[in-house]
Amino acid sequence: MKYFIETYGCQMNVADSELVMTILNDNGFESAAEIFEADVILFNTCSVRQHAEDRVLGRINNEMKHKLSRNVKIGVIGCMAQRLGEELMQLSSGVDFVVGVDMYDKLPEIISSAFHQEMLSVTDINNEQVYPDIMPVHQDPLKAFVTIMRGCNNFCSYCIVPYTRGRERSRGYAEILEDVRIAVEQGRREVMLLGQNVNSYQYQDISFPLLLKKASAVHGVNRIRFTTSHPKDLSDHLIEVMAENEKICQHFHLAMQSGDDEILTRMNRGYTASHYYNLIAKLRKAMPEIAITTDVIAGFPGETEAQFQRTYDLMKAIEFDYAYMFKYSPRTGTKAALYTDQVPEEVRLDRLQRLISQQEKITHKKYQEQIGKIREIYVEGISRKSESEVAGKTPDFKVTVFPGTKEMIGKFINVKIVDAVGWTLKGEVII
């Protein structure tokens, strides 16, 4: 039987799709190259914003056409499956089964039930579940997303993740190191350690900084990255381990969300603006060349113009390399969605636009500062814009394009940065 997976949302979902593919392949299923070849179509979904859910429902309704000519089953997995469960079968008659994020090892039997006309929704939360017996087969030949923990205990008041992914649980470090070792053995040189909140990883006496050290010591690894971090768990030990280990990429994605203390409290973020600012200062003191990126929400319920201005000013003061900026989007089931002082849509949009136009100038400046520097690029492929150019990333996650050939893919090439256009650096190979 052939299956096809369409993946939406964050890198955790990309890693989960690899886990699901491994489970199905180990149970005799085969991956279909095209959706129209599949007997089972799976949508691995995201619930972070309403738009993400609406988009998947549109896709499901679109792909129902395959059922007219063949006996095809459609299944929904991921955060939307976890949030909505059985309700999804009312929302779309195209859905045959729904499987939550802790039940993927049950997929083979749930799929066979679906082919016996038993439409199941299995979304039990299992706060122990880390799929210990499954070593995911990574799809990307050059880099691997390695999940180190699942779930989140932070309950930021705007976020649906703790309700869809359950409580934090850390994967065994021996399995993680084995996952990294296999990924490298198969030719990958870069590994991204993944979790909703990697800094709070703890397995027996192994904390996140120690895990990072062990992972970077695996023979053959050139680059270790990690995401997502929470400011409340960013320890001096982590900064130390990053600064003393050249294999750990000097790029830190640290969600700030707001620059106002009252709003941070209402978001239940667990830190103040000055604490956040000091963390950035510590990172830059230990690693002056480090790239810092962030996430920011504009128009959180109750946010006044003065409170917004504090966010605007803090971003100006910190000068992030780049930022992912969003207007607040109420999520049913979260605390903030019930707040009565919602900010009007046009005000949210206006504030978002002001953040974006300021950040674009800062990012432009940061990228211009790269011109003249020698950077090491891990070549990931042929440039989308030109057959005679290749593309890859610097250690601090900046996309770089330069004249090259396909023989360079998977190699580390030193280039001189000669220009910067938007979020892309242009380089020349150093002979």
Contact residues: ligand SF4, CB under 6 A: 152, 154-156, 159, 161-162, 196-197, 230
- C-alpha 380/C-alpha 408 separation (Å) is 9
In 3D, which of 384, 407, 222 has the Cα closest to residue 399? 384
Cβ count near 24 (within 10 Å): 22
Helix axes of 273-286 and 305-318: crossing angle, nearest 10 degrees: 10
Closest distance to ligand SF4 from the beta carbon of 195 (Å):
9
- C-alpha 329/C-alpha 346 separation (Å) is 13
For residues 123 and 200, which CB has a smaller minimum distance to ligand SF4 in the complex? 200
Cβ count near 121 (within 10 Å): 19
For residues 267 and 420, which CB has a smaller minimum distance to ligand SF4 in the complex? 267
For residues 9 and 395, which CB has a smaller minimum distance to ligand SF4 in the complex? 9
Rounded to 5 degrees, what angle do the CA atoms 351, 353, 354 make?
Answer: 65
Closest distance to ligand SF4 from the beta carbon of 263 (Å):
14
Beta bridge partners of 74: 41
For residues 89 and 148, which CB has a smaller minimum distance to ligand SF4 in the complex? 148
For residues 334 and 370, which CB has a smaller minimum distance to ligand SF4 in the complex? 334
- In 254-327, which ranges are E strands? 291-298, 322-327
Closest distance to ligand SF4 from the beta carbon of 276 (Å):
14
For residues 39 and 303, which CB has a smaller minimum distance to ligand SF4 in the complex? 303
For residues 115 and 155, which CB has a smaller minimum distance to ligand SF4 in the complex? 155
- In 254-372, which ranges are E strands? 291-298, 322-327
Closest distance to ligand SF4 from the beta carbon of 155 (Å):
6
CB burial readout 260-270, b (16+ within 10 A) else e: bbebbebbebe
User: Could you tell me the CA-to-CA distances from 319 to 137, 233, 312, 346, 380 in Å, in that order?
Assistant: 38, 22, 11, 26, 28
Closest distance to ligand SF4 from the beta carbon of 268 (Å):
8
For residues 81 and 156, which CB has a smaller minimum distance to ligand SF4 in the complex? 156
Quickly list H helices, 189-304.
208-216, 236-243, 261-266, 273-286
Closest distance to ligand SF4 from the beta carbon of 402 (Å):
35
- C-alpha 393/C-alpha 300 separation (Å) is 33
Closest distance to ligand SF4 from the beta carbon of 197 (Å):
5
Cβ atoms of residues 362 and 192 within 8 Å: no
- Asked if the bond preceding 228 is cis, omega within 30° of 0, the reply is yes
Closest distance to ligand SF4 from the beta carbon of 344 (Å):
24
